[in-house]
Structure 1
């Protein structure tokens, strides 16, 4: 299997494209070797991506950004689709890699466990099983990111070869939601699937770990984040103030009733207002690294000191 050229996105970080036959299931690989002088905190926003992070060195502390509770510490971790943002912290030293899977890819690789991951983090060993330690050790001792990513191609290619497929109706519903950025009415999805509303919700949870309405909210948020950051991420000379979308414009483009509805929904999922989210990206102590997936806004650095506000 052949792969695309690796991309160095920031110091200590390399992104790799999976082999062509895997790209309907694997969105990308991201290798990292960080040795910072200070701890780092990052906000990970809700996305339609299932992530498996395999640690060679260092641990992550994860906490819900909207409903804080005691932090959970992980070495290697699997994260399903989440409706609320996650604050991820580490002590400054972190070496490993992350695999970004589509929901279909997660189901094909892990079966019903993919649905059980919805809204949760779990030790990656609980998902990958006893093979995890062997896989992680082999990756850690393999020289160079290209060889590591090729090893992942082989590992996930073998899982996909025999894994279960999504139910066709779930696939159809997900495609409608993705193409509309979460704006298709649930009634339309119920009618198109041929199931009752209750049946559709149950089957969707089995496959993705979330109900269709919850998944739609994530897609709508991602559309909002993409529109919101598109202006800010352009070179200064190419982003005149008059081109910046107003709150009302943003709400209308992304499927909210009005700006108030947008702000409430954004706060409920991210833990801050859109304005605060943008401001924190501009003023972060470290440059914002590339997102885990190239066509999605996946998060922002919030602080280089553990325990400080974001």
Structure 2
């Protein structure tokens, strides 16, 4: 079960959505979480998550409540079957305003949410767990983030401008154009991005291009588009370049990713109570890796 809530209107520039979830499955669940332009904080009431990099696998790390910054490579997330909590999706600008320089340090990282929220986390998590409904929990989050964002630090104007250019172009604007537009050196631009977003401009652009690729691939008529046309539209030299970049960021080919999503959709049709494939409204975020065995 998953319940999505929109934050109060004044927060929506910084907070994209809230997602409550409660799962009780009879086996572990593995999900592939692809790179997005969103910072996530997940607060656990029950259960833990085991995370590992999908491209360069290493021993999995277990977390209760998690803060996840912008990542250039995908994550494999696994839980034992029982999981109860909620997630908050923040824009990179909102994460910096809420968490300050720690938001930049989160780039490419996962961390225990307590390391980001500090002593406030225990009090917040306890109040959320005791709230009688998801609506009441979302209202508590509205109050919490209204206070947290009220006087937090802000991005430098040139970082705001450069990020807008990247998003407007879906990652296609050349870094040299951002250098010229800001009047900064390339090194200074990269430093400011790493401090305030957690990734360099080129890495952030790659995430935005990947997200556009995923949206087109998963559109109802996406698979009917010519591969070469899709590659050019999304800023790749050719289909081979798209495939190599996709595998280097996601850990599998586009065909394998789409097959996992189709398997999850078929399973969701045959059974009730499974979580939605995507965990952020308006983004392609995930593929369920074990849907064929559920």
TM-score, with length taken from structure 1: 0.90
- Report the equivalent of 1:256: 236
Q: Residue 141 of structure 2 is aligned with which of 139, 144, 152? A: 152
Q: Which position in structure 1 is the counterpart of 2:247? A: 267
Indicate if the aligned counterparts of 2:32 and 2:75 stay in contact, CA closer than 8 A.
yes
User: Equivalent of 2:226, from 246, 252, 266?
Assistant: 246
Q: 1:97-120: CA deviations, max 9, x gaps?
A: 000000000000000000000000
Q: 1:161, 1:117 → 2: CA distance?
A: 21
Contact 1:77–1:123 (CA under 8 A) maintained in structure 2? yes
Alpha-carbon displacement from aligned partner over 1:3-36 (angstroms, at most 9, x marks no partner): xxxxxxxxx1000000000000000000001111
**Cα shift at 1:129:** 0.3
Match of 2:159 in 1: 170
1:216 to partner: Cα distance: 0.2
Contact 1:223–1:254 (Cα < 8 Å) also in 2: yes
| Cα contact 1:38–1:304 (8 A) shared by 2 | no
State the 1:290 CA deviation: 4.6
1:299 matches 2:286: yes
Runs ≥4 residues deviating over 4 A:
none
- Equivalence for 1:234: none
Q: Report the Cα distance in structure 2 between the residues aligned to 1:122 and 1:57, rounded to whole angstroms.
A: 18
What's the offset of the Cα at 1:292? 2.1
Distance in 1 of aligned mates of 2:286 and 2:233: 21
Distance 1:225 1:167 in 2: 30
Question: Quick one: distance in 2 between partners of 1:38 and 1:244?
Answer: 35
Shift in Å at residue 304 of structure 1?
Answer: 5.4
1:119 paired to 2:108: yes
- Report if aligned partners of 2:16, 2:89 keep a CA contact under 8 Å in 1: yes
1:107 and 1:164 in contact (8 A); partners too = yes
1:142 and 1:130 map into 2 onto residues whose CA distance is 20
Contact 2:46–2:84 (CA<8 Å) still a contact in 1? Answer: yes
Which of 261, 277, 300 is the aligned partner of 2:257?
Answer: 277
Tell me how large the CA RMSD over aligned residues is.
1.6
Equivalent-residue separation in structure 2 for 1:188 and 1:159 (angstroms)? 34
Q: How many residues align?
A: 287
Alignment partner, residue 39 of structure 1: 28
CA distance in 1, matches of 2:115, 2:281: 28
Q: Which runs of 5+ in 1 are unaligned?
A: 1-11, 232-238
Would you say the 8 A contact 1:39–1:304 is kept in 2?
A: no
CA distance in 1 between counterparts of 2:218 and 2:193 reads 30
Matches within 5 A, 1:18-37: 18-37=7-26
Residues 26-61 of structure 1: CA deviation (Å, up to 9, x unaligned): 000000011111110011000000000000000000
Following superposition, the deviation at residue 246 of structure 1 comes to 2.3
Q: Who is 2:180 aligned against?
A: 191
Query: Which ranges of structure 2 fall in alignment gaps of 5 or more residues?
Result: 269-274
CA contact (8 A) 2:14 2:93 kept: yes
Per-residue deviation at 1:281?
Answer: 1.2
Output the TM-score relative to the length of structure 2: 0.95
Cα shift at 1:286: 3.7
Match of 2:94 among 98, 105, 109: 105
